[in-house]
Amino acid sequence: MLKIKFILIIGFLVSFYNAYSSTKDSTRVYIDLYHTAINSDSLQVTELLECRQYFEHKKDSIWLIRSLIGLSKNYSRLGNYNDSFRYLWKALHYAEPYNNDKLLFQVHDQLATMFYIFDKNEETLLHRTQALNYAKKSVAQSFMNNEAVISAYYGFVHYYRKVGEYERSLKYLDSCQIIADKLNYSPDQRAFLYSEKGNILRKTGQLEDALVILQQAEKNFKRIEPSYLPIIYFYLGSTYMAQEDWIHAESYFKKTVSSINNYKTHYDAKSESLSRLAFCLHKQKRYMEAYVVLRESKEIYDNTFSTKSYQNAGLLGIRNMYKEELEERDKIILERDKELIQQKAQILTIRLVFLGLFSVIIVGVLFWYVKLQRKKFKTEKEKQQLKTQMEQEQNRALVEIKNKEITSFTLRLIDKQSIISEMVESINNYAPTNIDLLKSIKHKTTGRIKLWEEFDKRFIDVNKGFYKNLKANYPDLTPTELKHCALIKLNFSAKEMAQLLNISVNGVNTSRYRIRKKLNLKREDNLTTVIEQF
């Protein structure tokens, strides 16, 4: 059983490898087919269509775009600009989102060439500029070498030569030569640059110099790239035509038409070549031949360049269709962006709502906490105030009790003093000669000072700071007056104070008067009430 499973696994792996190898080999075959078609002097439209179909099926964007560019170039060589533009727009459609600078350079370079053929100068310059930008970016990223920049500059040489700005054309040609020097181009590699310089010399009237360069270019291209000979022949024919050498001009224009037919390339030059050939025949008074050739030129022009021709009938439609595709794509992108913006706005709104709710909750919690803390603080404060008030009341009650005790003690002291005074008076009246009794009574009387000190001590213990505060506010008060104030605080009567202090009631009243004066009291002010505050 294990052996069978092992054989099945091996068989599966072999099948998978063969399928992978087959796919890989097929891709290699179509890549080779593409290169063969592109590098061939003959047209390879069928082969490129096969490549396009295969790479489109495989979703290979790079090779699909290359195949579409190749098809555009081949159809252009055939003069079928309708299909040439169609495949080129498709290539641009695939290349733009792919963002491959090398491919975008090739697409815009070919678009510039196509618009150049149709004398669309504004579009030509636009795509030439874009092609140059993509070429420089590709070179900077090492995707292409500086040959791409030469090709881009060479396009500007053609453009400015065509619009009559020959000095700018020569400047771009010089730029091409500078880069060619850096790349160590051989004379054969510079053949295109030399031939274009000869053509510019022709345009600027330097005909002899132009002939020298163009005749050398004819020899070079016969050897290195015969498919470019139609252009060289056209330049030579135009140069002889400018010299009014109608025979040589006729010869080269015939060579131009013949080489176009042979190499099936540069059909855009065929109508103009026949037109100039007809002019040369006309100058030689070969009117019938000139008429036939001119008529053929017109037919070719109509078939090649007129949008009313069969093969180019959809040319403008294709351009509009491409614009519509771009507009539709932009519209879809715009709608998608709007949806994303709306989604972001909704998400932001939800976040703001949640943030607002969270903030409200936080503020509410903080408000509740602060309120709770305030309530707690208020409760604690009230408790503390109540406690302080109770303590103050207790202290006041205790002070009152102590003061009552002092008062009671003082009153007893007064009673004792009264009894002793009465006894002394009685002895003095009834037994003045009893010396021992008088000494005993006198001894008892001398304890009065100690009893006052005891009163004073008790009073200070209960009413701490009384003397100090009173003295601080009224420094003119004497010690005796301070004693009077202490007795006034305890609500002693004048008679009791007189007995305690062993002075007369008038003496007590006199002392009260002095105290009121020192305290700056008015008639309506109560002395007892003022002293109780201390």
pLDDT score, position 5: 52
Phi-psi region of 492 (alpha: psi -120 to 50; beta: other; left: phi over 0): beta
Please give the pLDDT value at position 210.
92
90-108 pLDDT, tens digit each? 888 888 887 888 889 988 9
pLDDT at 240: 94
pLDDT, position 167: 93
End-to-end CA distance of the chain: 118
Task: Concatenate the DSSP letters of all residues of 39-73 into one string.
Answer: H-SS--HHHHHHHHHHHHHHT-HHHHHHHHHHHHH
Per-residue model confidence (pLDDT) at position 276: 93
DSSP state of 434: -
User: What pLDDT is recorded for position 17?
Assistant: 45
- Domains within the chain, CATH numbers bracketed: 186-313 (1.25.40.10), 422-532 (no CATH)
How buried is 521 (Cβ within 10 angstroms: 0-12 exposed, 13-18 middle, 19+ buried)?
A: middle
Low-confidence ranges of the chain (pLDDT < 50): 12-14, 16-23, 307-310, 316-318, 320, 447
Confidence (pLDDT) at 233: 94
For residue 269, give the nearest of 123, 126, 76 by alpha carbon: 76
**Residue 134 half-sphere exposure, CB side, CA atoms within 13 Å?**
20
